[in-house]
A and B are shown apart, each in its own frame.
Chain A
Amino acid sequence: MPVESVFPRLEALLPHVQKPIQYVGGELNSTVKDWDACDVRWALMYPDAYEVGLPNQGVMILYEVLNEREGVLAERTYSVWPDLEELMRKHEVPQFTVDAHRPVGAFDLFGVSFSTELGYTNLLTALDLAGIPLSAAERTEDHPVVVAGGHAAFNPEPIAEFIDCAVIGDGEQAVLEISEIVRAWKAADRPGGREELLLRLAKTGGVYVPGFYDVEYLPDGRIARMVPNRSGVPWRVSKHTVMDLDEWPYPKQPLVPLAETVHERMSVEIFRGCTRGCRFCQAGMITRPVRERSITGIGDMVDKGLKATGFEEVGLLSLSSADHSEIADVAGGLADRYEEDKIGLSLPSTRVDAFNIDLANELTRNGRRSGLTFAPEGGSERIRKVINKMVSEEDLIRTVSTAYGNGWRQVKLYFMCGLPTETDEDVLQIADMATRVIAEGRKVSGSNDIRCTVSIGGFVPKPHTPFQWAPQLSSEETDARLAKLRDRIRGDKKYGRSIGFRYHDGKPGIVEGLLSRGDRRVGAVIRAVYEAGGRFDGWREYFSYDQWMECAARVLPGYGVDVDWYTTRERSYEEVLPWDHLDSGLDKDWLWEDWQDALDEVEVEDCRWTPCFDCGVCPQMQTEIQIGPTGKKLLPLTVVGK
């Protein structure tokens, strides 16, 4: 059956919308495969605007991995802005892919990657525009199988009603396995229909099908248990882990958009996973163990990627990039290689204690010396012990003053407010730290023309972390605490002028908290918000706290729970958590011990450099830490024509 492009109909709408270029596709390195020559077809979505979604590494990697496979095709789709949505509804243009402008409803699979929970309402918009029933239960064989992935999929319960299945962990191998199952099922003429396909996926143990689990509740609203309701469906679903990153050098041909996006650079993931053990950090917990890409693998990806894209900056991506065992040789080798070409290098995440000035000098050798950013996260030594962010104030001051001494003029410090056990005093110490930073900076640089910006946002407890049991601080208390900090900083006559203060109010954090630790009952709130017009919740200009609270107040009392129950309530050891049946590899008892250690202000080392702490991941997932050093160096490339 031929599938027509909707572009002729879309084209007539484009002159009437903002930034039409984001809807036309045609990016360098994009792929359009022959529809009829493929028997498994994926529409991949990042549920946010194109400018945010296009640079997303996860989608870019899966797009390429799938398109490389014979007989499999993948196209991309992003959230359309409300101006186009309105026109599409009026002119009956369905949600489309940007590659060949095919209707999303025509694909076999609709994979949606959630980096954050704030994309849930956008999922509903896309489903509806695609003509796919919002409830998975109402879908037929003619509709795509809706697959959720990304970090937020580690607790997909709030969107359980809207998705057919979820995959947790690394997607590279998982999407290929799913493709083969779909291919075999289609080739056999779809035996047993949609139900049978989902059953085949569920039986692998690596695909979570919410519809195959019943949730039983206790009278007080807590969950009693989650029970499989089909035979052969596992009690727990495992995450996927790619072990050898050098075997997966994706994206090989990064997409280069015509439209401007939030990351105007090429990214190379230098390692996956982090075992620093910061207790607030969901990414660090769910992506264990650490798996490094080798220095030569990195060099190769940078070389090929730059040739394929022409980008002028390379970001060395990971959760804590300075922790790569050969980072100095990586940065130095790349700076040597691209000295002539004016290619900038950046390390998006750098820990204070892993930072050194030689590395910083290498990174900025080719010209750009912008500001430095560090994330101490907590203002007091005490709270940093609670969160296991083992950075001493002395370390920080030493690092930052070295930076000022070497010509940097601007340092940004990131913090969180509302951490477990936190008091006003913990937060007010941020002001003292910033003051010391400026005082030291003025001393070593001999100049008053230096700045420090304090950026602070509310902490949201996340599933699969030691803080999954913790109470979230209410938005009122968060705002009050931040106001005190602001006054303390502004009130400083001597240094206040040199300290910038940027903060996010506590309200969006409460909605994120509701969605992060929510269960299936929260799905009704998401649907209500969507129906009331909620869209683009990650965008200040669209997000409406009041709308979320109104919808929650209308829907949740029927279940005997409310927003506070999901957010500011502390959970007990016995409580069945909504994501307990999703196995991130972390042992729940280990997480609980780590939570108790947090309350006792006891720190835990990084298992890369100390013996195992039995978090459970390696034995459970049959994985192991993969780190260097390899001892290899990056050789200069022979440049043609020089």
Chain B
Amino acid sequence: MQRVRLRYTKRGRLRFTSHRDFQRAFERALRRAEVPMAYSAGFTPHPKVSYANAAPTGTASEAEYLEIALAAPREVAWLRERLDESLPAGLDIVDAVEAKTSGFAERLEASAWELRLEGVDPAEAERAAKVFLTTSSVEVSRETKKGIRTFDARAAVTALEAADAFASPSPSGGSDALASVPCAILRLVVRHLTPAVRPDDVLSGLRSVADLAPPVPAGVTRLAQGPLDERTGTVTDPFAPDRDAATAALPTAAGQQAAAAPEITGQ
């Protein structure tokens, strides 16, 4: 059975899509794209899709991942393109790879986030980030289904720094488009631990240890998800092992795939 891993985005206004909403939209896109899905057994069969680590509702993402299982093999590039076309703009399939390795979920060790703080002076954000990093433990509380939960938001954070500061155009646009408001941007790297530390938790941490209080809700975007390179502190591509495995096995694998999928045409 062919398994394909996809990287997708939640951009712009569609960042308000919840994970459940995305699942429904994706399953419908599979139908529209006529992807020959493998189905689970049982009374109500479901297409086989596994999702990893969905970003919270309201946060944008450039790096969400899922894996699908196909009943008949398809070319990966064709799948990527067809599914991307079938999804609403903003939910975009940006990368795809045939699964050649196991343990994909475990490979998603950390996330890199961008926090856009409209109306916050970049210098102020930089100062707050330093205070946060020099504090050994930052207790934050979050409301969960089981009530208020308090935990440390500091230990999971491996990087928090101000990115290049710039002034963005006023969001109201119109005649005073030339007017500008300050906007700070923070880059954050968080290790996926239990309990999961979300960007929101880091923001509440910044508020509690450094009095950083953005006047409007922060624009949060996940930039990357994958193995954490301890040496450079960066999040790397989780598809790399699959690509390496495919390259190593190239001569035979390509031949098999071409033979198994004769019906693929350019239509």
Contacts and interface: CB of A to CB of B under 8 A. Distances in A.
A367 interface: yes
A539 B37 CA distance: 39
Contact of B89 (A19, A26, A259, A341): A26
A27 B17 contact: no
Contacts of A16: 217
A311 B30 CA distance: 10
B45 interface: yes
Interface string A393-414: 0000000000000000000000
B13 A11 contact: yes
B58 A20 contact: yes
A7 B16 CA distance: 13
A641 B263 contact: yes
Interface stretch (B120-128, B171-179, B204-212): B171-179
A9 B172 contact: yes
Interface in B129-178: 171-174
Contacts of B27: 310, 312
Nearest to A24: B13
Nearest to B30: A310
A258 B17 contact: yes
B256 interface: no
B171 A8 contact: yes
B44 interface: yes
B231 interface: no
A367 B45 CA distance: 9
A599 interface: no
Contact of B31 (A20, A259, A310, A367): A310
A367 B89 CA distance: 33
A61 interface: no
A307 B29 CA distance: 10
A249 interface: no
Nearest to B174: A4
A15 B58 CA distance: 6
Interface stretch (B1-9, B18-26, B95-103, B185-193): B18-26
A312 B14 contact: no
Contact of B88 (A14, A27, A264): A27
A402 B187 CA distance: 66
A330 to B, nearest CB: 21
Contacts of A26: 13-14, 88-90
B89 A260 contact: no
Given A21-B57, A259-B21, A7 B13 contact: yes
B21 A258 contact: yes
Contact of A312 (B13, B31, B88, B173): B31
A21 B28 contact: no
Interface residues of B, number: 36
Contact of A311 (B16, B28, B34): B28
B39 interface: yes
Chain A interface, DSSP helix/strand/loop, else mixed: loop
Interface in B199-230: 216-217
Contact of A21 (B16, B43, B86): B16
Interface residues of A, number: 36
B118 to A, nearest CB: 9
B267 interface: yes
A264 B23 CA distance: 13
Contacts of B265: 641
Contacts of B21: 21, 258-260
Given A258-B25, A309-B32, A12 B90 contact: no
Q: Which of A28, A310, A311 counts the most chain B CB atoms within 10 A?
A: A310
B105 to A, nearest CB: 25
Contacts of B20: 260
A309 B21 CA distance: 15
A309 B86 CA distance: 9
A89 B175 CA distance: 24
A342 B71 CA distance: 14
Contacts of B171: 8
Given A15-B217, A260-B21, A367-B45, A20 B86 contact: no
Nearest to B13: A24
Contacts of B17: 21, 258
Q: Which of B32, B43, B173, B174 counts the most chain A CB atoms within 10 A?
A: B32
Contacts of B88: 26-28, 258
Q: Which of A20, A308, A311 counts the most chain B CB atoms within 10 A?
A: A20
A637 interface: no
A258 B14 contact: yes
A641 B217 contact: no
A123 interface: no
A24 B16 contact: yes
Interface string A333-372: 0000000011000000000000000000000000110000
Contacts of B13: 7, 11, 24-26
A2 to B, nearest CB: 9
A342 B45 contact: yes
Given A24-B13, A367-B45, A264 B32 contact: no
Across chains A and B, which 3 residue pairs bring their CB atoms closest together, nearest first?
Answer: A310-B28, A310-B31, A310-B32
Interface of B: 13-14, 16-18, 20-22, 24-25, 27-32, 34, 39, 43-45, 57-58, 86, 88-90, 171-174, 216-217, 263, 265, 267
17 contacts: A4-B174, A8-B171, A12-B216, A14-B16, A14-B58, A15-B58, A19-B18, A21-B57, A26-B13, A256-B25, A258-B25, A264-B24, A309-B28, A310-B30, A312-B28, A341-B31, A342-B45
